[in-house]
Every structure is written in structure tokens, then in C-alpha cells.
Amino acid sequence: MSAKPKYYAETEFPSEEAPGAIVFYKDGTGAVFHTYSSYARGLDILVGAYNFLDLAPKGRDEDGLKFTMAWIRHHDKYIDGELVDLAKTYSQPKSISASEGDAK
């Protein structure tokens, strides 16, 4: 019994974005090879903060969070003058115009 080749196809995903890393290699003849893929928790090594948190006594301490990495606060997703309330989860700002977002 031979293994079936893997093919790529579009599928429905429950979120607008998701982390992933894929590596391809192109040889001298122009042939392209898929050499590596990693998704979700497989990318932890690329998040520098995790390398330090994993050394701490409580580690990542994500058990009580709505989702993993909910502790992240994006510097470019705040309305000027507002402060972060670390007791709350992140929510999309009420309104930021496209020109404001591009200017930062």
C-alpha cells in the first residue's frame, strides 16, 4: 500500500488569522519542495517572550485566560491617551480610522 501524496487546498478556518510558518526550497532546476511546516504551538520557539516565561516559576500562566497569548497587548491597536487595563482581555478599539492606523 503506497502513501497518498499530500495536496494543498483552501479550507474554512474559524478565525481571520492564525500563526504558521512554512519553508520551501527551490533547487537549481526550478523544482520547488515543501520542506517544513509548523502551526499554533509549534511556533512557540519564535516568540521570544515564551523563552523567558518558560523559565519562570509559574511559566506562561495561561490556564485562566480566554485563549493562549491573551496577555499580549498590541502597541499599535490603542487609541491615543488610553491606558491598558491588565485585568481585562483585549478587545478591538471602538474606532480607529485607516489614516490614524497607518500614521503610527
pLDDT reported for residue 66 = 77
Sign of the dihedral defined by the CA atoms of residues 96, 98, 100, 104, in that order: positive
Q: Judging by beta carbons within 10 Å of its beta carbon (0-12, 13-18, 19+), is residue 78 exposed, middle or buried? A: middle
pLDDT reported for residue 78 = 61
DSSP-derived letter for residue 97 is -
Name which of 86, 78, 82, 83 is nearest 104 in CA terms. Answer: 78
Name which of 24, 40, 42 is nearest 32 in CA terms. Answer: 24
Mean pLDDT by 10 residues, the chain (104 residues): 66 77 94 88 79 85 77 65 65 58 48
